[in-house]
Structure 1
Amino acid sequence: MDTILIFFSLAAATSAYLLWFWLLARKLNGPKVWPLVGSLPHVFMNRRRFHDWIATNLHATGNAATYQTCTIAIPFLARKQGFYTVTCHPKNIEHILRTRFDNYPKGPTWQTAFHDLLGQGIFNSDGETWLIQRKTAALEFTTRTLRQAMARWVNRTIRTRLWIILDKAAKDHTSVDLQDLLLRLTFDNICGLTFGKDPETLSIDLPKTLSRTHSILQPATLQRLLYPGFLWRLKKILHVGAERRLRKSLQVVENYMTEALDARKETPSDDLLSRFMKKRDIDGNLFPNTVLKRNRPQFRSCGTRHVIGRAQLVLLAEKIIREISAVLQETRGKDTQKWIEEPLTFDEADRLIYLKAALAETLRLYPSVPEDFKYVVSDDVLPDGTALPSGSTVTYSIYSVGRMKSIWGEDCLEFKPERWLSAGGDRFEPPKDGYKFVAFNGGPRTCLGKDLAYLQMKSVVSAVLLRYRLSLVPGHRVEQKMSLTLFMKNGLKVYLKPRQLVAPPKAAVSA
C-alpha cells in the first residue's frame, strides 16, 4: 500500500511539474529549455562562441530583437534567479540605461560574482556608493591636466619602448603579437597616470607580468555569470579549475595594489590615486583602502579595452595614412622625417576624423564589452512590450546591436567607416539615436574616459601605421576569446615593413 501511495505521489508530482514546465516554456521565445536545467545545456555547448550564439538567438526573433529564456527550470526560482531577458533593441537599451536607470542596478548576482575582483568600486557598486565615486571620478576626467598627463605617458611609452620593439622586429624580419604589445602599452600608461609609477611591462624581453593577469581574471569571472552561483562557489571552495586560477591572479593584483597604495600614502603625487585619496564619501569619510584598491584597476581596464589592435584597421591603413599625412604636413611641414620623430600630440590626433570613424566602426562590430547584465528591481515592461519580473536578469547585447539589419540596415555586417561621417566627409557624426551605439555605455553610467580613449587609440594607431606596413602572419587565426571584454584568442601576429612616407599635395583631403 505504501509503495502504491509513493508511486502515485511521485506520478502526481511529476505531472504537476511537467504541466508547470509546459506553461513556463510556452511563454519563452529564446533557445529551447529543458526540465530542471532550462537552457543551461545550450549555454554550455556554446560557451566558446557565446556572443555569436546570443546574436543568432536575437536574429531568430526577427525585428523583435528580444527573447526570454530560463536557466533554472525549478518552481519559485525560474521566474527570479533563473529568468533572463536578452535584448538588443535600442529603445529597450535606452529604457534600461536611462529612462528607468534606478530600476536596473548591477544587482546582487553581478556584485557577488565580481566582488573578488571589483569589490565596491565604481564598476561594481550601485546607489549612493556608486554615485559619490562617479562624481569624484567625473571631476578628474574633465580636467585638462588629466588629458595632458595622459598625452605625456602615451607619447613617452610609444617613443621609448613601442617603436624600439617594432624597429627590432622589422629589422630582424620577425613577427610580433600586436595585441599583446598594445595591451602592455596601455597597462603601463594607465598605471603611470594612476599611480605615477611605470610598471614597465612593455619592454624588449616582454616578461610575463601583472598585465597578463587579466587574461585569467576576465574569462574566469565571466563563467560566474553564465552558470548558477552554486557551481562556481563549489569550485571556489574546492579550489579547482577557473576558480583556482582566479584566486592566484587576484593575489597578484592585491599585492600590486597594496604596494602602490602604501607608496602613495608615504609620498603623495599628482596622479589619480593621490587625488582620489583626498576625496570623501557621502558621510564625509575618506575612501577606505578596499575602495581605493578596487577603483584603480577598473580605470586601467577602461583604458585597456578601447585600444586593442584590430585586424580591420590594417585593411584601412592607406586611407588613414593619407589623413594623418595631411594633418602632419600642416603641423610639421613637408619633411616626412619630422613626422615620425615624435608621436602625434593629442591636438594633432583630435583632427583625425576618418581614423575616429574607423575606430567607431570597429567598436560597433566588436564592442569592448559585448554583453552587460542588469538586475530588475521591480516588475517592469520594456518599450517593445516585453514584461520583466522583479528579481530576474536583463541582458543587453551590445555585440548583437551592430549585427541587426533592423537597426543598422542591410549592410550592417560590412565594415564601413563612412557611415560615421557627414556627407562631405569632414565631420564625425554619431547616429541620431545614441542607443544604437553603446560601446561606451549610456545614460548615467556613460564611460568617463571616452574622449581620452579615442585620443589614445588614435595616437597609438598613428604611431604604428606611420612607420610600418603590416601583414598578418600566414596561417594565423584571428578569432575571439570568450571573456568579459573582447580579445583575440591567439593575439594579432603580424610582420612589419618600414613604410615610405610621401607628403600629399597641398589640397589633399584627409578622408
Structure 2
Amino acid sequence: MIFSLLLSLITLGFLISSLKYSSSQLLYPNKLYIKLKKIASTFTTSYACPSITCLISFYKNRHRLLNWYTELLSQSAKQTIVVHRLGAPRTIVTANPDNVEYILKTNFANLPKGKPFTELLGDFLGLGIFNVDGEMWSIQRKLASHEFCTKSLREFVVKVLEDEVENRLVPILENAAENGSVLDMQEVLRRFAFDTICKVSLGMDPFCLDLSQPPPPLAAAFDSASQISAMRGAAPIFAVWKLKRALNVGLEKDLKDEVKLVHGCVDEMIKTKKEMMGKNNGGEGDLLSRFLEAGLDNEMVRDMVISFLMAGRDTTSAAVTWLFWLLTGHRRIEKQVVDEILAVNNDGGKLGFEDLKEMNFIKACLCESVRLYPPVVWDSKHAAKDDILPDGTPVYRGNRVTYFQYGMGRMEALWGKDRLEFRPDRWLDENGMVKMVSPYKFPVFQAGPRVCLGKEMAFIQMKYVVASVLRRFELEPVRSEQPVFVPLLTAYMAGGFNVRIRRRG
C-alpha cells in the first residue's frame, strides 16, 4: 500500500485512452509478433476484439470500467488481455499470479517502472524512492528498509496513533454521538491519516483533523499536485503536457505553483529539523530525523519524505473506510470484531503493540476488505527488452505491463465461487491465525524487491483505528444504497461515507 498512489490513476488513464484510440484490434499481428509467436507457440489470439466493438463496449461500460476489465480477464483462458492504441506502447493487462510473480520477482530487472512514469511524476516526486529505478532506488531502499525494521520506529508510530486517536478522533466521534450529527467518516479518516503520516514522516503536526477549518495549505497543495501529475498520464497525446509545461500555461502552471509550495514547505521543515538536531545532539523518532542522521543531502531527503507522505496519506484511510462500510452490512462479523477487541483489551486501557499483534480477526477483515476494494487498483511496469510472460504472452521492448489488483480479487479461479462475498474467515486457519497467502495472488502490497516497506506499519495503524472506534461506537450509514467505488488516486467512495454515530452498549 505504500506504493506510489499516482500510478493507479495514470494507468487508468492510459487504459481508457487505449480503448478510445484502439486501431483495428485489441490484439493484432505484426512482424515482431509473428516472430515471437513462433517461440511462444501456446499463445493464442483469443483476446482479439474489433475496434468498433471496443468503442461501443467502452461507451456502454464507461461507468463500470473496473468490472468490465475484470469480466474480460475472467473470460480469458490465461487471465491476460492485450490492448493497443495508436501512438502508444502496447499494453498487457494480467490477473494471472504466475505472470505477477514474473513481473515483480523473477524478471524484476527487465520490468522497471520505466521512463514514461518517472517523467510524468518527476516534477512532483523528484528522485524519491517511488519514482526511480536502478542504483538510485537501491540506495534509498536499503536505507528505508533498515529504518522501517527498527523497534524504535514502531514504538514511535504507536505513540503518534495514541495521541491522535485519544485527543482528536475520539472527541470528534463523541461530539457527533452527543449531537446526533452526520459525519463523513471518509473525510475524517483521511484527515486523521494526513496528521499521522506528517507526524511520523516529518515530525510536525499539520492539525488537519480540525473539522472547523479547511485543510492546511500543504495538504491542499499535495492534493492538487498529485492530481495534475496523474492527469498527465490520461492525456491522449503524450506531448501536450510537455508543451504546456514549456509554455508554463494551464494545469502545468498550476502544477508548478503547487510543487513549489510543497517543496518549499518540506525544505523549510528540513532546515528547522537540522537546527533542532544541532541543539539537541540528535533527532526525534520521525523519518525525517532518521534520514538526516544518515547523511543524505537535502534534496534526496526532501524527495524521499514527499514520496512517503504521498504513499501513506490515503491508503490506510481508504482501506478502513471500506471496512467500516462492509461491517455495517455484516453486523454478525462486526460483533466478532468487537468480541476480539474486548478479549484482547478487556480493561479498556491504552492499546499497545502486543495487543495489536493478537488481533488476528481484525487483520483478516482488513485483508478481505482490501481484496475487494484495493486502495490502488493497477500497477504498471515497462519492459526494458523483449520477453515472454509465463502464460505465453509476448512482451516487446517498451511495452507497458500491468497487473490488475482489483480484478485479481474477483477472479473465481483464485478465490472461488464466493469471491464477491465479504468472508474474513477465508484468511484464517483452524487455530484462528492469519493464513499465509501468496503475495502474487494478493499483490495489494506488491511483492518481490519492491514489496511495501510500510505494510506492517499500515496494519498497526488500521488495527489501532478499527479497535479504538468499534469498541466505543457503532456506525449507521445515512444512505442505504451501495456506494460507488472510484479508482482515482485511491479507491475512495463517491460522495463520502456519511454516518451517524452511536455509543456502543
**TM-score, normalised with respect to structure 1:** 0.82
Helix, strand or coil: the match of 2:433? coil
| Corresponding residue for residue 449 of structure 1 | 454
Structure-2 change in CA distance of 1:121 and 1:28 (3 Å): farther
Instruction: Quote the offset at 1:29 in angstroms.
Output: 2.2
Preserved contact between residue 64 and residue 89 of structure 1 (Cα < 8 Å) = yes
Helix, strand or coil: the match of 2:445? coil
Q: Check if 1:274 corresponds to 2:274.
A: no
Instruction: Quote the offset at 1:320 in angstroms.
Output: 0.6
| Corresponding residue for residue 131 of structure 1 | 138
* 1:8-87 alignment, distance < 5 Å: 23-24=29-30, 29=47, 32-33=50-51, 49-61=64-76, 63-72=77-86, 81-87=88-94
| Corresponding residue for residue 228 of structure 2 | 220
Does 297-306 or 388-397 show the bigger shift? 297-306
| Corresponding residue for residue 211 of structure 1 | 219
Helix, strand or coil: the match of 1:415? coil
Q: Check if 1:380 corresponds to 2:395.
A: no
Q: Aligned equivalents of 1:313 and 1:113: distance in 2?
A: 38
Helix, strand or coil: the match of 2:72? helix
Residue type of the alignment partner of 1:114: L
Structure-2 change in CA distance of 1:119 and 1:351 (3 Å): same
Instruction: Quote the offset at 1:234 in angstroms.
Output: 4.3
Q: Aligned equivalents of 2:251 and 2:327: distance in 1?
A: 33
Q: Structure 1, residues 463-487: CA drift from partner, whole Å, max 9, x if none?
A: 1111111011136762223313222
Structure-2 change in CA distance of 1:494 and 1:367 (3 Å): same
Preserved contact between residue 128 and residue 306 of structure 2 (Cα < 8 Å) = no
Q: Structure 1, residues 403-433: CA drift from partner, whole Å, max 9, x if none?
A: 1111111111111101000023x211032x3
Preserved contact between residue 439 and residue 446 of structure 2 (Cα < 8 Å) = no
Q: Structure 1, residues 59-101: CA drift from partner, whole Å, max 9, x if none?
A: 232x3110111122x5xxxxxx421011110000000000000
Q: Aligned equivalents of 2:221 and 2:451: distance in 1?
A: 26
Structure-2 change in CA distance of 1:245 and 1:486 (3 Å): farther
Q: Aligned equivalents of 1:30 and 1:151: distance in 2?
A: 52
* 1:34-183 alignment, distance < 5 Å: 49-61=64-76, 63-72=77-86, 81-183=88-190
| Corresponding residue for residue 239 of structure 2 | 230
Q: Check if 1:367 corresponds to 2:367.
A: no
Helix, strand or coil: the match of 2:453? coil
Q: Aligned equivalents of 2:257 and 2:62: distance in 1?
A: 23
Greater length-normalized contact order (CA 8 Å, ≥ 6 residues apart): 2
Q: Aligned equivalents of 1:409 and 1:420: distance in 2?
A: 13
Q: Aligned equivalents of 1:297 and 1:314: distance in 2?
A: 35
Q: Structure 1, residues 187-213: CA drift from partner, whole Å, max 9, x if none?
A: 111211222211111124142223344
Structure-2 change in CA distance of 1:213 and 1:343 (3 Å): farther
Q: Aligned equivalents of 2:485 and 2:220: distance in 1?
A: 17
Preserved contact between residue 95 and residue 382 of structure 1 (Cα < 8 Å) = yes
Preserved contact between residue 66 and residue 85 of structure 1 (Cα < 8 Å) = yes
Q: Structure 1, residues 106-144: CA drift from partner, whole Å, max 9, x if none?
A: 101011111122111100110110001000001100000
Counterpart of 2:352 (choices 331, 338, 345) is 345
Counterpart of 1:490 (choices 492, 495, 499) is 495
Uncovered stretches (5+) of structure 1, i.e. residues with no partner: 1-16, 75-80, 280-285, 333-338, 501-511
Preserved contact between residue 222 and residue 262 of structure 2 (Cα < 8 Å) = no
Helix, strand or coil: the match of 1:64? coil
Structure-2 change in CA distance of 1:294 and 1:459 (3 Å): same
Q: Aligned equivalents of 1:68 and 1:18: distance in 2?
A: 13
Helix, strand or coil: the match of 2:317? coil
Instruction: Quote the offset at 1:162 in angstroms.
Output: 0.6
Instruction: Quote the offset at 1:371 in angstroms.
Output: 0.3
| Corresponding residue for residue 464 of structure 2 | 459
| Corresponding residue for residue 435 of structure 2 | 429
Preserved contact between residue 343 and residue 459 of structure 1 (Cα < 8 Å) = no
Q: Aligned equivalents of 1:222 and 1:248: distance in 2?
A: 16
Uncovered stretches (5+) of structure 2, i.e. residues with no partner: 1-22, 34-43, 278-282
Q: Aligned equivalents of 2:276 and 2:168: distance in 1?
A: 27
Q: Aligned equivalents of 1:47 and 1:206: distance in 2?
A: 36
Q: Check if 1:317 corresponds to 2:348.
A: no
Structure-2 change in CA distance of 1:477 and 1:232 (3 Å): farther
Preserved contact between residue 377 and residue 390 of structure 1 (Cα < 8 Å) = yes
Preserved contact between residue 307 and residue 453 of structure 1 (Cα < 8 Å) = no
Question: Identity across aligned pairs (percent)?
Answer: 34
C-alpha RMSD of matched pairs (Å): 2.8
Q: Aligned equivalents of 2:445 and 2:184: distance in 1?
A: 26
**TM-score, normalised with respect to structure 2:** 0.83
Helix, strand or coil: the match of 1:198? coil
Preserved contact between residue 28 and residue 69 of structure 1 (Cα < 8 Å) = no
Q: Aligned equivalents of 2:258 and 2:68: distance in 1?
A: 29
Structure-2 change in CA distance of 1:95 and 1:292 (3 Å): same
| Corresponding residue for residue 11 of structure 1 | none
Residue type of the alignment partner of 1:385: G
Does 386-395 or 267-276 show the bigger shift? 267-276
Helix, strand or coil: the match of 1:378? coil
Preserved contact between residue 182 and residue 498 of structure 2 (Cα < 8 Å) = yes
Q: Aligned equivalents of 2:151 and 2:243: distance in 1?
A: 48
Residue type of the alignment partner of 1:321: V
